[in-house]
């Protein structure tokens, strides 16, 4: 395993089965910059010659997989939920068309650079800890001069949350306080459809879907979201989906495990009060 980060981060990762963790510690790696990270990872790939390089399917993970795949003339697949050996390469599964189908891809050009969806694989705690080795890699001197972060102030990162309560155009405006209250009660995070983000009701970092985050929480509660395929692409791997929508023909109901037909502004306060009493 290679970590571009800090010794404490390695400590957290050491108990998950890797024999060795190669650590590159440098301040220039604190903030993601593709030109810097791809050269450092590229140097490690060149030296270790792995046949498979895994990333988390975040914006940076997907970007690095693509850039390194091109650099090493390897295979690239992103958003994968399963992976196994196949002939002289690997076979991966990747949900497509809003999660209604799974594409089976054979990756024969090695190394294969695969970005996997977070939470698609169970955590495997292992006996013993990996050996952490600091390795010398020349880190480019490129630095950010100034970074303006967009934060939504969420306590739990959206793509790490066990529960996601998302709102769409049906919210009718930027007041997401009902969703925030429900998410807080359930220990979850608030997400949004692209319509809600495009209307400036929520920050881009909250967008779930094809051009936003891909989430797979234990529970996804979609409020006032119609269920367009581009939205489904980001949440269809959720373990349980609950939909609240006043239109009984909304496509989201075909994917939901539990659907409530009605006005979310009447249903959510009842739900919140009931959960508070539990
Ligand atoms: P709508 O489709 O307008 O649905 C609103 C729903 O709210 C309706 O079903 C309505 O019945 C319901 N409603 C209204 N009032 C209430 C109420 N009071 N109580 C209960 N229900 C109510 N979308 C994404 O979400 N994520 C993406 O990443 C994304 N990427 C895209 C990429 C491309 C290339 C394209 C072309 C589109 C993308 N979209 C994405 C947009 C997508 O196609 C839809 O337009 C969008 O998801 C619709 O958002 P919505 O469900 O909030 O709005």
Model ipTM value: 0.99
* Alpha-carbon separation of residue 4 from 34, 55, 217 (angstroms): 13, 12, 27
Binding site for FAD: what residues are annotated?
169, 193-194, 207-211, 224-231, 245
For ligand 1, the distance from its centroid to the CA atom of residue 194, given in whole angstroms, is 7
ω into 251 cis (within 30 of 0): no
- Cβ(230) – ligand 1 distance below 6 Å: yes
For ligand 1, the distance from its centroid to the CA atom of residue 108, given in whole angstroms, is 38
Q: What is the pTM of this model?
A: 0.72
**How crowded is residue 154: how many other Cβ atoms within 10 Å of its Cβ?**
18
- Cβ(166) – ligand 1 distance below 6 Å: no
Largest CA distance in the chain: 60
Please list the pLDDT of the chain residue by residue as tens digits (278 residues).
Answer: 777 777 777 778 888 888 999 999 988 888 889 999 999 999 999 999 999 999 998 889 999 999 999 999 999 999 999 999 998 899 999 988 767 789 999 999 999 999 998 888 888 888 888 888 888 888 888 887 887 776 667 888 898 899 999 999 999 999 999 999 999 999 999 999 999 999 999 999 999 998 898 899 999 999 999 999 999 999 998 999 999 999 999 999 999 999 999 999 999 999 999 999 98
């Amino acid at each position: 395993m290679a970590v571009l980060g800090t010794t404490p981060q390695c400590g957290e990762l050491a108990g998950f089965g890797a024999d060795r963790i190669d650590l590159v510690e440098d301040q220039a790696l604190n903030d993601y910059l593709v030109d810097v990270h791809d050269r450092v990872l590229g140097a490690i790939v060149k030296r270790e010659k792995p046949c498979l390089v895994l990333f988390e399917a975040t914006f940076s993970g997907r970007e690095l997989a693509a850039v390194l795949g091109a650099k090493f003339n390897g295979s690239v697949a992103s958003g994968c939920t399963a992976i196994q050996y196949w002939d002289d390469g690997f076979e991966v599964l990747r949900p497509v068309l809003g999660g209604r189908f799974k594409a089976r891809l054979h990756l024969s050009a090695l190394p294969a650079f695969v970005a996997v969806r977070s939470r698609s694989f169970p955590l495997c705690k292992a006996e013993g800890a990996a050996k952490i080795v600091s390795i010398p890699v020349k880190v480019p001197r490129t630095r950010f001069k100034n970074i303006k972060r967009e934060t939504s102030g969420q306590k739990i990162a959206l793509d790490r949350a066990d529960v996601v309560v998302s709102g769409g155009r049906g919210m009718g405006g930027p007041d997401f306080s009902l969703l925030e209250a429900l998410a807080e009660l359930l220990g979850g995070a608030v997400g949004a459809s692209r319509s809600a983000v495009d209307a400036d009701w929520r920050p881009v970092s909250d967008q779930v879907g094809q051009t936003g985050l891909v989430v797979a929480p234990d529970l996804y509660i979609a409020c006032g979201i119609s269920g367009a395929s581009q939205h489904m692409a980001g949440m269809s791997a959720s373990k349980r989906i609950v939909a609240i929508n006043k239109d009984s023909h909304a496509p989201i109901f075909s994917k939901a495990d539990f659907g409530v037909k009605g006005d979310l502004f009447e249903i959510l306060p009842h739900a919140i009060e009931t959960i508070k009493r539990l």
